[in-house]
Amino acid sequence: MTTTHAVISCLHANLAALEAVLEDIDQQGISTITCLGDLVGYGPQPNEVVQLVRERAIPTCQGCWDEDIIDGLNACECSYPSQLAEKRGHRAHHWTADQLTEENKAFLAGLPMTLRKDQLLFVHGSPNSQHEYLLPDMNAFAALERVETAGVETLFCGHTHQPYIRELSGGSIQVKVQARGTKTPREETMTLPMRRIVNAGSVGEPRHGNTKATYVVHDPISGDINIREVDYDVAKTCQAILDAGLPDVFAWRLRHGFEYAERAEDASHVCER
Amino acid sequence: MERWALVSGLNGDADLYEQLQRDLKRQRGVAYLFVLGDLIGPDQDCNHLINRLQQPKPGDLQPHCIYGWWEDQLLASCGYRGEQRAQESRLEHGETFQRRLQQGVAAEHLPWLASLQYGFIELDCGLIHGSSVDVGDSLDESTSPLLLLDRLTRLDVNRLFTARSARQFRLELSGGQITSCVKDHSGEQSQEHVVPKRSVIGIGAGSEYCIYDPGSDHVSFQSASANSRHLKQGFA
């Protein structure tokens, strides 16, 4: 029996993609799966996806979409790149909220913010918030702070829809400290530990430049982490999006594997809060 | 260049504020006064001080105020931060504590307190009661440099003035580096990042305050009570 485990994220109500990824995981003989949230939103099968995660009893933490569906668009919408994108997001929110059964809403409401296993922490966005993006080019010291403050060696996250493995190593910080009443500053060096951030990408709405669903496989013994890509029936999900009356752009994004945002209206885009 | 005075933790003490104003008149070149929160406190009639901060006496250095931890607690308990925060405040501190705070501040002052900002950005400096994360974030000279660097990075400032810990200190990030290796579909990329030269300065509280010269980056820690005895302490 293998000790490796799979980490999936951002399923976004895309049943075909989730089924393909679970099949790929099963074929490798992996029985431990962790999900980093965003089971719903954008996609056309929110109930089916939540139901499948429940049936497989996959430990799951709450994503920003899962939270918003329960609490009602309470998150800061600054993450939308344009006003039109924000309007589309709201349409998808209301559609999803109407579709979800009360039982599935209760399941999403009961999801924990984080899951911890030994020296591994699983979150949707960051340990601070489901809405914080840990992008691969984020300031390296700030990224390390997120892992170190959480008290773990490896942080698994999603939210960006772009899979990556980031290793932060060989770090140190020198400081001069002077307190009131002391004449000579005290000099110290802090040696920083090696830490990793692993982004699982997205099962249901990849935005890393191609249309394949992504997830990661981690071997806790060797420490190896592999980003997996899985083909699925993209056309089937795109058609279901159109049939459901969701914004066409969501289907366009699945066909291209990119974020889509208009630029003309961006200048006036303001945060709702 | 004109120097700044930074004070905090007045806790409703109008006499202390008078003492600080007198002390600042003796300091050369101080043109700006920043009050980094905790204007009010429990078990004090804070109204006299709030009146003076809003309507300075002739000759007073004009105070520029932000809110601090006590103001945040008071405003939360009075519903200015939403019902959820009010409930959290009740659960965390109890109703007796809330009453003690509310009794010291007339209701007519609440809108002014609620209008105060979280912090100021002046030149390349952040002036905040706690930190860029939370008004209650307490930073001092023993705080992890990694965490301090994060607080500076979030604001993208070179100097962060903080008051919450009530400590007087300057911690300068003077060097260091880290290697970041990112592996994704486009391949593997390794980069060296160096620690930027930035500082966190604890300004003290009450009669202990800080004077900053943005022209020379000189920080001087003062004590109004000690100065009144003709003593001074400070360093570059």
Confirm whether B185 is domain-assigned: yes
Give the pLDDT score at A89.
79
Residues in chain A within 8 Å Cβ distance of B236? none
Contact yes or no for B193 and A163 at CB 8 A: no
Residue to mutate among B131, B153, B165, B174, with most A CBs inside 10 A, is B174
Enclosing H/E stretch for B127: strand B125-128
Contact yes or no for B147 and A149 at CB 8 A: yes
Q: What is the ipTM of this complex?
A: 0.89
Contact yes or no for A174 and B195 at CB 8 A: yes
pLDDT tens for B131-188 read: 999 999 999 999 999 999 999 999 999 999 999 999 999 999 999 999 999 999 889 9
- Between CA A10 and CA B34 the distance in angstroms is 45
Q: Choose the closest CB to B145 out of A140, A167, A190.
A: A190
Structural domain containing residue B51: 3-227
Q: Choose the closest CB to A190 out of B146, B169, B184.
A: B146
Residues in chain B within 8 Å Cβ distance of A229? 185
Q: Choose the closest CB to B169 out of A142, A164, A179.
A: A179
Residues in chain A within 8 Å Cβ distance of B172? 175-178, 185
Confirm whether B164 is domain-assigned: yes
Local confidence band at A86 (pLDDT 50, 70, 90 cut-offs): confident
CATH of residue B202: 3.60.21.10
Q: Span B43-49, mean pLDDT?
A: 92
What are the structure tokens assigned to A105, written together?
């809403």
Contact yes or no for A142 and B233 at CB 8 A: no
Angle CA(B79)–CA(B84)–CA(B86) in degrees, nearest 5?
40
Contact yes or no for B172 and A163 at CB 8 A: no
- Report how many domains make up chain B: 1
Contact yes or no for B193 and A140 at CB 8 A: yes
Contact yes or no for A141 and B153 at CB 8 A: yes
Confirm whether B202 is domain-assigned: yes
Which of A74-88, A195-209, B113-127, B157-171 shows the lowest mean pLDDT across its residues? A74-88
Give the pLDDT score at A269.
40
Confirm whether B232 is domain-assigned: no
- Percent of chain B at pLDDT > 70 equals 95
Contact yes or no for B169 and A166 at CB 8 A: no
Angle CA(A139)–CA(A145)–CA(A149) in degrees, nearest 5?
160
Contact yes or no for A169 and B178 at CB 8 A: yes
Local confidence band at A76 (pLDDT 50, 70, 90 cut-offs): very low
Q: Choose the closest CB to A144 out of B174, B178, B191.
A: B178
Distance from CA of B93 to the nearest CA of A (A): 24
Contact yes or no for A178 and B180 at CB 8 A: no
Q: Choose the closest CB to B169 out of A144, A180, A188.
A: A180
Domains annotated on chain A, with CATH: 5-167+194-268 (3.60.21.10)
Write the burial class of residue A1 (CB in 10 Å: 0-12 exposed, 13-18 middle, 19+ buried): exposed
Name the more confident of B8 and B227. B8
Give the pLDDT score at A54.
98
Which of A152-156, B54-58, B85-89, B194-198 shows the lowest mean pLDDT across its residues? B85-89
Residue B225 clears pLDDT 50, i.e. is over it = yes
Local confidence band at B86 (pLDDT 50, 70, 90 cut-offs): confident
Confirm whether B43 is domain-assigned: yes
* Residue B4 identity: W
Residue B207 clears pLDDT 50, i.e. is over it = yes
Give the pLDDT score at A265.
46
Q: Choose the closest CB to B184 out of A163, A167, A185.
A: A163
Contact yes or no for A165 and B208 at CB 8 A: no
The mean pLDDT value of chain B amounts to: 91
Contact yes or no for A190 and B147 at CB 8 A: no
pLDDT tens for A90-122 read: 888 889 999 999 999 999 999 999 999 999 999
- Among chain A residues, CA nearest to B179: A169
Confirm whether B233 is domain-assigned: no
pLDDT tens for A165-178 read: 999 999 999 999 99
Distance from CA of A140 to the nearest CA of B (A): 6
Contact in structure between B74 and B40 (CB atoms under 8 Å): yes
Handedness of CA A123, A128, A131, A135 (dihedral sign): negative
pLDDT tens for A2-30 read: 689 999 999 999 999 999 999 999 999 99
- Interface size A-B, in CB pairs within 8 Å, comes to 123
Q: Choose the closest CB to A181 out of B153, B191, B233.
A: B233
- Among chain B residues, CA nearest to A149: B147
Residues in chain A within 8 Å Cβ distance of B173? 173-175
Give the pLDDT score at B169.
96
Confirm whether B47 is domain-assigned: yes
